[in-house]
Amino acid sequence: MNSRIATDIGNIIGDKNIIVPNTDNNDFTIDRRQKRQSFPALIASPDNTADLSKLLTYCYKNKFRVVPQGGNTGLVGGTLAASNEIIISTRRLNKIRAIHKLDYSMIVESGCILADVQAQANRNDRFFPVSLGAEGSCTIGGIISTNAGGINVLRYGNTRQNIHGIEVVLADGTIIHSLNRLGKDNTGYDLKQLFIGAEGTLGIVSAAALKLSPAPLSTVSVLCGFSRIEQSLELLELAQLYSSNQLTSFELISSVAMDNTLKHTPSISRVIPACSWYALCQFSTSSPVIDVSSLAENFLETAADKQLIKDAVLSRSISQENGLWKIREALVTAQRLEGESIKHDIAVPISKVPELVRTVDREVKKIMPSIRPYPFGHLGDGNIHYNFSQPTDMDAITFRAKESAIHNVVYNIVDKLDGTISAEHGIGTDKKALLAQYKSTADLDLMRAIRRVFDPHSQLQVGKLV
C-alpha cells in the first residue's frame, strides 16, 4: 500500500493507530493455532466509533478490502488477510460505557476482552455467562461476530441469547445505533440478529448492550466416570431432573482425552479411578435458599443407585472446583503435545451423540486404523469437539494427507444425524466450501442476497462465509 493511503488513514484515525505489518505484530497476523499468517497491507486500529465510521467510508469510496479483527482468536481463518486488504482491529475500542444494574445490562465496546467484561459484571453482583477457553484474549466483538458458545450454553444460551442490542458500522460507514437494553422490542425485524454470527461480513460491531444475569451465590461441580457412552444421556437427564434448573454445564470427556491431559499436565492428578468416559458438570444458583451441594449429592446418589456411574467426586471448596475445571481447560493444550491433530467442531441432537461417537469412531478407523480419537465437549447442547490425534507410528505428513478423507466421513455422518458442521467456531475460509455442500441452495442464495444489501461492493471479509 502506498504511503499516500497510509497518510490518509493516519489523518482519519491518528498516526498512532496505524500499524505497519512486521514480525513485531504477529498477534495480529498469525492465527491462534500458530499455523497460518496474514500479510495485510496495513493494520488500522481506531479508538472510537466515529473514527471507525470515517475509516470505513474512506475504504468504501476507494474500494479497499477490509478484514475486521478482534482478539484474533478465531479457529477457521476468519481473521486472515491478504496483501491487498486492510485489517481493522477493534482492540482500541475497549471502553465499558455503562452498567445498568437494575436493567441487568452493560454497554461495552467491541474491543473489550471477554474476561474483563466478566470481571466487571462480577464486581457489580451481576454475571455475563458466555465463557470459553479464549476468554482471556477474545473480544466482545469477536464473540458476537461468531455467536460464540462455550461451557454455559446449556443454561444461558449462546452469545445470541445474551445480547440486548448492538452498535454496528456498515461497509459504507453508516452507523446503526441499536444499543437498547430492552427485554422486549417488537418493532419489526430484529436487525441485530443479522450481525450476530455474521463473522464481520455485514458490518463491524463497535459496541454492544449485553444481557446480564444474577451473579451465582454458590456453585458446585461434579466429575463422574462411567463405562458406556449411552450412559451420558441418562446422566444428563438425571442431572437436569435433580438440578431444579440449576444445571449450568455438562461436559463429556473421553478416556483418551483424560489420560492425555493427566500425562501432559503435572499439576493435575487423577481424582477418580480410570473410566471409559467422564462427565464434568456444574450446578450453580443465585438463590440464598437453594443448596446446590444437596442437589448434586442427590444426583450422584441416584446415579449410583441406578448403576450409571463407577465413581465420582464432588467439589467441597472453590479450589477443588477450580481443580476439576482445570482438567477441562487443559484438554486442548494437552492434545497439541501429542503431535498433529485433525479437529471438528460439530453438533447433533443430544439424543444422537452416542450414535455419532460410535459411528465416527468406526468409520474413521476404516481409513486409519491406528488413529487416536479425541472426543470431548458440550454434551449439554450436543456440541462435540471430535478431534483426532496423529497415530504414534505415523509421521505428520502422512497423517495430514488423510485429512480431507476424514473430514468427509465425519461431516457426512453429522449430516445424516441432522447435525451441523460448525457448532460454535464459525465458517471463515476453512468451511466455506463445506457450507455450500451441506446448506441448501435456497439458504445460501438468501444469505448472499442479504450480504449484497449490506456490502454491495464486496469489500468486507472477501472470501469468508458465503
- b/e 180-215 (16+ beta carbons within 10 angstroms → b): ebeeeeeeeeeebebbbbbbbbbbbbbbbbbbbbee
Q: How far is CA 8 from CA 4, 80, 91, 169, in A?
A: 6, 24, 21, 20
| 289 Cβ neighbours under 8 A, 6+ residues apart | none
- Spell out the per-residue pLDDT of the chain, length 466, in tens: 568 889 999 999 999 999 888 767 788 988 877 778 888 999 999 999 999 999 999 999 999 999 999 999 999 999 999 999 999 999 999 999 999 999 999 999 999 999 999 999 999 999 999 999 999 999 999 999 999 999 999 999 999 999 999 999 999 999 999 999 999 999 999 999 999 999 999 999 999 999 999 999 999 999 999 999 999 999 999 999 999 899 999 999 999 999 999 999 999 999 999 999 999 999 999 999 999 999 999 999 999 999 999 999 999 999 999 999 999 999 999 999 999 999 999 999 999 999 999 999 999 999 999 999 999 999 999 999 999 999 999 999 999 999 999 999 999 999 999 999 999 999 999 999 999 999 999 999 999 999 999 999 999 999 999 9
Q: How far is CA 157 from CA 8, 128, 248, in A?
A: 43, 11, 10
Q: Is 158 helix (H, G, I), strand (E, B) or coil?
A: coil
Domains of the chain with bracketed CATH: 3-89 (3.30.43.10), 96-214 (3.30.465.10), 218-336 (3.30.70.2190), 341-425 (3.30.70.2740)
Quote the distance between the C-alpha of residue 432 and its chain's center.
18
pTM for the whole structure: 0.95
Report the candidate in 299, 171, 185, 196 with the shortest Cα–Cα distance to residue 247: 299
C-alpha cell at 121: 459484571
Inter-axis angle of helices 49-61 and 3-13, nearest 10: 150
